Chain A
Amino acid sequence: MELIFLVFILMLSIFLGFELINKVPATLHTPLMSGANAISGITVVGAISLAGTGQQDLSNWLGAAAVALATVNVVGGYMVTDRMLAMFKKRGSK
Chain B
Amino acid sequence: MSAMGLAIQMAFVVAAALFIFGLKLLGSAATARRGNMLSAVGMLLAIVAALLDQGIVEYQWIVLGFVLGGAIGAVAARFVQMTSMPEMVALFNGFGGMASLLVGAAALATAGSTFTLVTIVLSILIGGLTFTGSLVAWGKLSETIGSGAVTFRGQQIVNSLIVAGIVVSAVMFCLQPESSQWLYLIIGLSLLFGVMAVIPIGGADMPVVISLLNSYSGLAACAAGFAINSNILIVAGALVGASGIILTQIMCKAMNRSLTNVLFSGFGSVSTVETTVEGEIKPISVEDAYYVLEAATNVAIIPGYGMAVAQAQHVVKELAELLEENGCEVNFGIHPVAGRMPGHMNVLLAEADVPYDQLLEMDDINPRMETVDVAIVIGANDVVNPAAREVESSPIYGMPVINVDKARTVFVLKRSMASGFAGIENPLFYKDNTRMLFGDAKESIAGLIREFS
Q: Are A76 and B92 in contact (CB under 8 A)?
A: yes
Taking the complex as formed, is B102 at the interface, i.e. its CB lies under 8 A from any CB of chain A?
yes
- Number of B residues contacting the other chain (C-beta, 8 Å)? 113
Q: Mark A11-54, 1 if CB is under 8 A from B, else 0.
A: 00111111011111111111111111111111111111111111
Q: Are B236 and A42 in contact (CB under 8 A)?
A: yes
Q: Which of B105-113, B161-169, B299-307 contacts A (4 or more CB under 8 A)?
A: B105-113
Taking the complex as formed, is A9 at the interface, i.e. its CB lies under 8 A from any CB of chain B?
yes
Q: Mark B206-244, 1 if CB is under 8 A from A, else 0.
A: 000011001001101110111011111111111111111
Closest to A92 in B: B355
Residues of A within 8 A of B57 (CB): 52-54
Closest to B12 in A: A45
Say whether chain A's binding surface is mostly helix, strand, loop, or mixed.
Answer: helix
Taking the complex as formed, is B69 at the interface, i.e. its CB lies under 8 A from any CB of chain A?
yes
Q: Are A43 and B106 in contact (CB under 8 A)?
A: no
Q: Are B40 and A38 in contact (CB under 8 A)?
A: yes
Q: Are A37 and B241 in contact (CB under 8 A)?
A: no
Q: Are B80 and A45 in contact (CB under 8 A)?
A: no
Task: State whether A29 and B342 are in contact (beta carbons under 8 Å apart), knowing that A20-B20, A49-B50, A82-B37 are contacts in the complex.
Answer: yes
Q: Are A50 and B103 in contact (CB under 8 A)?
A: yes
Q: For the complex, what is the distance from the CA of A45 to the CA of B46, rounded to whole Å? A: 7
Q: Are A46 and B73 in contact (CB under 8 A)?
A: no
B105 CB → nearest A CB, Å: 6
Closest to A93 in B: B355
Q: Are A64 and B242 in contact (CB under 8 A)?
A: no
Task: State whether A40 and B356 are in contact (beta carbons under 8 Å apart), knowing that A49-B50, A53-B58 are contacts in the complex.
Answer: no
Q: For the complex, what is the distance from the CA of A90 to the CA of B359, rounded to whole Å? A: 10
Residues of B within 8 A of A67 (CB): 61-62, 65-66, 69
Task: State whether A28 and B343 are in contact (beta carbons under 8 Å apart), knowing that A3-B115, A36-B243, A76-B77 are contacts in the complex.
Answer: yes
Partner of A59 from the list B95, B109, B240, B244 (CB cut-off 8 Å) is: B109
Q: For the complex, what is the distance from the CA of A56 to the CA of B128, rounded to whole Å? A: 25
Q: Are A40 and B218 in contact (CB under 8 A)?
A: yes
B11 CB → nearest A CB, Å: 10
Q: Which of B82-90, B136-144, B410-418 contacts A (4 or more CB under 8 A)?
A: B82-90
Q: For the complex, what is the distance from the CA of A34 to the CA of B243, rounded to whole Å? A: 11
Q: For the complex, what is the distance from the CA of A72 to the CA of B69, rounded to whole Å? A: 4
Q: Mark B199-210, 1 if CB is under 8 A from A, else 0.
A: 000000000001
Q: For the complex, what is the distance from the CA of A29 to the CA of B361, rounded to whole Å? A: 12
Taking the complex as formed, is B32 at the interface, i.e. its CB lies under 8 A from any CB of chain A?
yes
Q: Are B58 and A54 in contact (CB under 8 A)?
A: yes
Partner of A42 from the list B35, B102, B237, B242 (CB cut-off 8 Å) is: B237
Q: For the complex, what is the distance from the CA of A83 to the CA of B217, rounded to whole Å? A: 22
Q: Are A13 and B235 in contact (CB under 8 A)?
A: yes
Partner of A52 from the list B61, B242, B243 (CB cut-off 8 Å) is: B61
A1 CB → nearest B CB, Å: 13
Q: For the complex, what is the distance from the CA of A27 to the CA of B345, rounded to whole Å? A: 8
Q: For the complex, what is the distance from the CA of A88 to the CA of B291, rounded to whole Å? A: 32
Interface centre among A17, A41, A84 (most CB of B within 10 A): A17
Taking the complex as formed, is B55 at the interface, i.e. its CB lies under 8 A from any CB of chain A?
yes
Q: Are B61 and A26 in contact (CB under 8 A)?
A: no
Partner of A68 from the list B69, B108, B240, B346 (CB cut-off 8 Å) is: B69
Interface centre among B224, B344, B358 (most CB of A within 10 A): B224
A83 CB → nearest B CB, Å: 7
Q: Are B73 and A79 in contact (CB under 8 A)?
A: yes
Q: Are A78 and B98 in contact (CB under 8 A)?
A: no
Q: Are B33 and A85 in contact (CB under 8 A)?
A: yes
Taking the complex as formed, is B444 at the interface, i.e. its CB lies under 8 A from any CB of chain A?
no
Q: Are A28 and B29 in contact (CB under 8 A)?
A: yes
Taking the complex as formed, is B158 at the interface, i.e. its CB lies under 8 A from any CB of chain A?
no
Q: Are A47 and B55 in contact (CB under 8 A)?
A: no
Closest to A82 in B: B36
Q: Are A86 and B33 in contact (CB under 8 A)?
A: yes
Taking the complex as formed, is B409 at the interface, i.e. its CB lies under 8 A from any CB of chain A?
no
Q: For the complex, what is the distance from the CA of A28 to the CA of B243, rounded to whole Å? A: 13
Q: Are B62 and A43 in contact (CB under 8 A)?
A: no
Q: Are B233 and A46 in contact (CB under 8 A)?
A: yes
Task: State whether A9 and B231 are in contact (beta carbons under 8 Å apart), knowing that A32-B343, A35-B36, A42-B46 are contacts in the complex.
Answer: yes
Closest to B363 in A: A26
Q: Are A36 and B100 in contact (CB under 8 A)?
A: no
Residues of A within 8 A of B58 (CB): 52-54
Interface centre among A40, A51, A68, A91 (most CB of B within 10 A): A40
Partner of B73 from the list A6, A16, A35, A72 (CB cut-off 8 Å) is: A72
Partner-B contacts on A (CB < 8 A): 2-3, 6, 9-10, 13-18, 20-54, 57-93
Starting from the known contacts A42-B236, A45-B47, A92-B355, 12 additional A-B residue pairs (CB-CB under 8 Å) come to A6-B225, A6-B231, A13-B235, A21-B23, A35-B36, A36-B214, A39-B39, A63-B106, A64-B61, A69-B96, A83-B78, A84-B347
17 contacts between A and B (CB under 8 A): A2-B229, A6-B229, A6-B234, A17-B238, A17-B246, A23-B27, A27-B346, A28-B32, A39-B240, A52-B58, A64-B62, A64-B65, A69-B95, A70-B95, A71-B68, A74-B73, A76-B74
